[in-house]
């Protein structure tokens, strides 16, 4: 009888503990929204660059990265795009030589870095036709 009472008390305690965890989880859990920004990155080689250029009109922002006296394509460029409030909205560690990003209309700052040199350009996307930006290092 004492064993049964102890077992019942133990089970009741476990049930209460489990309910408190579930109840606590309901209070802590929040809906998370993941923002997905479509982009296309690449353009190494003529065939790949031509293929990207064919779909370029589908993207609001089209970036090209070049370096040197002959302005040859360059890749592996870290890129950060921030909105008008300086919040990062797109980050890519190894962009180029072409990077097309589908952003909504707005004002942005695009920062790119190559060989220790950082360049930044402000861009306004109006929603019509998109915008081409060239970064020369």
Question: For 50-102, what is each residue's pLDDT tens digit?
Answer: 999 999 999 999 999 999 999 999 999 999 999 999 999 999 999 999 999 99
Is residue 25 located within the same domain as residue 84? no
Same domain, 58 and 100: yes
- pTM of this prediction? 0.75
| 97 and 57 fall within a common domain | yes
23: confidence class by pLDDT, cuts 50, 70, 90: very low
10 in the same domain as 43: no
Number of structural domains the chain divides into: 2
Same-domain pairing of 48 and 2: no
Domain extent, residue 82, equals 39-136
- C-alpha 61, offset from chain centre: 14
CATH code of 66's domain? 2.60.40.10
CA distance 56 to 100: 7
Token reading at 93: 């560690």
Strands of the 77-83 sheet, one edge to the other: 88-95, 77-83, 106-114, 117-125
Whether residues 13 and 75 fall in one domain: no
Same domain, 87 and 116: yes
State the virtual CA torsion across 132, 90, 102, 65 in degrees, nearest 10: 30
Could you tell me if 10 and 61 lie in one domain? Answer: no
Please indicate, yes or no, whether residues 28 and 56 belong to a single structural domain of this protein. Answer: no
Residue in the structure block whose two tokens are 């077992």: 7
108 CB burial (10 A radius; 0-12, 13-18, 19+): buried
pLDDT of residue 89: 97
Q: How far is CA 62 from CA 87, 99, 123, in A?
A: 20, 6, 11
């Amino acid at each position: 009888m004492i064993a049964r009472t102890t077992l019942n008390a133990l089970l009741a305690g476990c049930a209460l503990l489990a309910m408190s965890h579930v109840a606590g989880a309901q209070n802590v859990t929040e809906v998370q929204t993941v923002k997905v920004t479509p982009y296309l990155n690449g353009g190494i080689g003529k065939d790949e660059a031509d293929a990207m250029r064919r779909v370029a009109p589908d993207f609001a922002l089209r970036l090209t990265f070049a370096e040197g006296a002959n302005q040859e394509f360059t890749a592996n460029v870290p890129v950060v795009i921030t909105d008008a409030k300086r919040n990062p909205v797109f980050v890519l560690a190894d962009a180029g030589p072409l990077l097309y990003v589908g952003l909504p209309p707005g004002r942005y700052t695009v920062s790119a870095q190559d060989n220790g040199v950082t360049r930044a350009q402000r861009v306004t996307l109006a929603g019509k036709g998109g915008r081409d930006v060239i970064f020369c290092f």
